Amino acid sequence: MAEKAANGVFFCEVCTARYAGAGDCAACDGEPLLDLRNADVVEMIRSFDEQRWKKRLGQFTGLAAVIVIPTVVVFNLLMGAATGKVLGLIPNMVLAGFGVSAFSGGLIAVMPPKKRLPAMLP
Ligand SMILES: [Zn+2]
């Protein structure tokens, strides 16, 4: 079992613990430690971070659509009832698109996925 070290060269991608020596993570069952001196390994961890970011943005975009699109529909109904006119399809799509991207962008700014790649590399 490897010894933990704050700025160790070996890294567990699951729990982000760092170790001085190679081996498996003591906390994560059978998880092999990655050598942070290897540029390919660092690139792989970076790409995992990116995938987690994209996955979360996708989830937030879905959530934003569920909230924003009905809001746009209700807005149209109210406007139609009040003025007898409704927005055309294109303005509605632009409005919904802006709403969804603003909403999901706001969510990911407040709740980004945790980055696992250490800021301080050996
Ligand atoms: Zn671990």
HEC states along 60-95?
A: HHHHHHHHHHHHHHHHHHHHHHHHCCCCCHHHHHHH
Distance 89 CA to ligand 1 centre (A): 51
Least confident interval from 32-41, 64-73, 78-87:
78-87
Can you give the residue ranges of every domain in the chain? 1-37, 48-122
Distance 109 CA to ligand 1 centre (A): 27
Beta bridge partners of 59: none
**Could you tell me the pLDDT band of residue 86, with boundaries at 50, 70 and 90?**
confident
With contact defined as beta carbons under 8 Å apart, do 95 and 65 qualify? no
Supply 32's token pair: 């092999």
Q: What pLDDT score was predicted for residue 116? A: 96
Supply 46's token pair: 């970076």
Distance 52 CA to ligand 1 centre (A): 18
Judge whether residue 13 has pLDDT over 90.
Answer: yes
Distance 81 CA to ligand 1 centre (A): 59
**Could you tell me the pLDDT band of residue 1, with boundaries at 50, 70 and 90?**
low
Distance 17 CA to ligand 1 centre (A): 6
**Cα distance between residue 122 and residue 14, in whole Å:** 19
In this structure, the number of other CB atoms found within 10 A of the CB of residue 118 comes to 15
User: If you average pLDDT over residues 24-51, what whole number do you get?
Assistant: 96
Distance 51 CA to ligand 1 centre (A): 19
